[in-house]
Structure 1
């Protein structure tokens, strides 16, 4: 996991096969702006060399905050460091905890009809419509049946999904069951379970992990963790937990300034950014990012995980009755 203090962009131009080519690459450093610039220039030269050799390489590197891109670290404002863990401000202004070895998992509750179910319903209706048309020996009947299938497919899929949700206790109950099942199968694991506005968060306490460890991937799969979160963990070599509310959930409609809030920000934009942050932080105090629910499994606690648990619970206001956001 790398969360640099300094960022720079390197540009290099050259003529390749009678055409002008411009390559841009970012560089970073924890030492100085000059070192970040040197790193950016070095990466730009390396990319140009690859292009000259005929390799398929992007000329411009997109500016992303926490996009999971291979080879580019987390590009967010650093607010605090706690050992190897780093607290940053993300693209939309919330505070986030980034850790290379303390395992968090996000389990979101799916509210929409699964794509697999929708496809199954539509394919079944199309098959029935086609069979009906063939049985009647009429193209007109086939066309009308197919149109009806297209119209009723989505409502039918929604109805089936709601019936399934009711029969299984809903996504929250299924998520709890998956976590409890994992705990029963791995009694040596110490799990802390938190409620989030639209899901659950699990913090693993008994030991530390690497984001690409095979056991971590098994853990994510068993819990059906958010696939975007899983991909980000692998690509950024870290685990992550949001510590403060999402702005739109606490009534802040205006986006962080400047928009988008990529870091670093030009000096002329800092006053507007600071005003937005002050308003956000004042309002965020009345909300919790998650709420502690239960502890499962072993009572063994790794000191690194416990130190981060204290920070996480305090900054998330996880032991309060504040509204989740």
Structure 2
């Protein structure tokens, strides 16, 4: 995969275009060299946009979170394969969560219909600090080969350790996902429960139709996540689109994968689900700023006793060594066999 830019800068200007009125424009530039070089890139992009006559007027409000080009994200980790090739990176997204980016393992995001779960189920309370992989993910600063480092206190579930077709995935073996309340990864009720059953059947049928693929199915708080090994499908390819469509992957997520040229998977909780304020993006501050570091520490502490997904099933052949490296990082960060509440 292409490296994630290490430096970002933004140019903000207001321009008036014929027949369009004034526009407050923000253009982001990136660089692997320096912030100054990123600012030069942003300046060139702004000048090109102005010379072209301004932004297009078509706007689909449903695409606000999934922009037509990559937005600034802090680089937290890099993972290299056995031959030294960059196979994954972890970044901090615009609201502060750590996100896995990779083109070496197909990742599908499948949403359940939203429902009002009420204020008592909207957040999960704070807890104590937990050391290990999460400290590195939250702490900032690009590091190499994160998946090769041992993580004290956080076991690394591996595909070979989970029997093919196993269901539940909780560490104590007592939790069947079908019996869990929704915020713990259960099916929900009513229409949501019906769709949950349909999607789970669709995921199992997908694995049966593609015995050549390894499929790890997880329950997220509001849907499912699939890590698919053996596909060898580039994120922007027709093959990837077809495979993701088979399991009803979210169309906006599919667009995001094409824009970023990687598959993406959130590794840490959404801040508002653990009573933490929204992260202010790198467009307004740097990762070394005191307020940035303060936010990171509060977020890390509040996230200590939650998980991001729950492992449901593992089917198909074993992943390659590089795919296993990515799965290992994903599972150590998301805690899918911990039995913790999902956030």
Q: CA deviation at 1:239?
A: 0.9
- Greater CA deviation, 189-198 or 80-89? 80-89
Take 1:22 and 1:282, find their aligned partners in 2: how far apart are those partners?
Answer: 37
- Residue 185 of structure 1: aligned partner: 209
Residue aligned with 1:288, SS: coil
- Residue 100 of structure 1: aligned partner: 103
Aligned 8 A contact 2:91 2:98 in 1: yes
* Matched residue count: 256
Aligned 8 A contact 1:74 1:236 in 2: no
- Residue 180 of structure 2: aligned partner: none
- Residue 6 of structure 2: aligned partner: 5
Equivalent of residue 296 in structure 2, options 277, 294, 301 = 277
Q: CA deviation at 1:6?
A: 1.2
- Residue 81 of structure 1: aligned partner: 78
- Residue 55 of structure 2: aligned partner: 57
Take 1:23 and 1:94, find their aligned partners in 2: how far apart are those partners?
Answer: 26
Structure 2's unaligned 5+ residue stretches are: 58-63, 81-85, 117-188
Aligned 8 A contact 1:69 1:236 in 2: no
Aligned 8 A contact 2:276 2:298 in 1: no
Structure 2 residue 313 is the aligned partner of structure 1 residue 294: yes
Take 2:206 and 2:287, find their aligned partners in 1: how far apart are those partners?
Answer: 51
Aligned 8 A contact 1:204 1:305 in 2: no
Take 1:294 and 1:102, find their aligned partners in 2: how far apart are those partners?
Answer: 17
- Structure 1 or 2: more helix by fraction: 1
Residue aligned with 2:265, SS: strand
- Residue 26 of structure 1: aligned partner: 28
Q: CA deviation at 1:97?
A: 0.9
- Residue 340 of structure 2: aligned partner: 322
Cα separation, partners in 2 of 1:322 and 1:44, compared to 1, 3 Å: same
Map 1:140-159 onto structure 2 (within 5 A): none
Q: CA deviation at 1:234?
A: 1.8
Aligned 8 A contact 1:5 1:30 in 2: yes
- Greater CA deviation, 276-285 or 7-16? 7-16
Task: After superposition, give the CA deviation of every residue in 1:272-318 in whole Å (9 maximum; x if it has no partner).
Answer: 23222212101212111112111123x14222221100000001112
Residue aligned with 1:178, SS: helix
- Residue 194 of structure 1: aligned partner: 218
Take 2:334 and 2:22, find their aligned partners in 1: how far apart are those partners?
Answer: 51
Aligned 8 A contact 1:29 1:36 in 2: yes
Give the TM-score taking structure 2 as reference length.
Answer: 0.66
Structure 2 residue 246 is the aligned partner of structure 1 residue 243: no
Take 1:205 and 1:29, find their aligned partners in 2: how far apart are those partners?
Answer: 31
Aligned 8 A contact 2:95 2:281 in 1: no
Cα separation, partners in 2 of 1:100 and 1:74, compared to 1, 3 Å: farther
- Residue 231 of structure 1: aligned partner: 255
Give the TM-score taking structure 1 as reference length.
Answer: 0.69
Which has the bigger relative contact order, CA under 8 A and spacing at least 6? 2
Q: CA deviation at 1:15?
A: 10
- Residue 235 of structure 2: aligned partner: 211
- Residue 146 of structure 2: aligned partner: none
- Residue 168 of structure 2: aligned partner: none
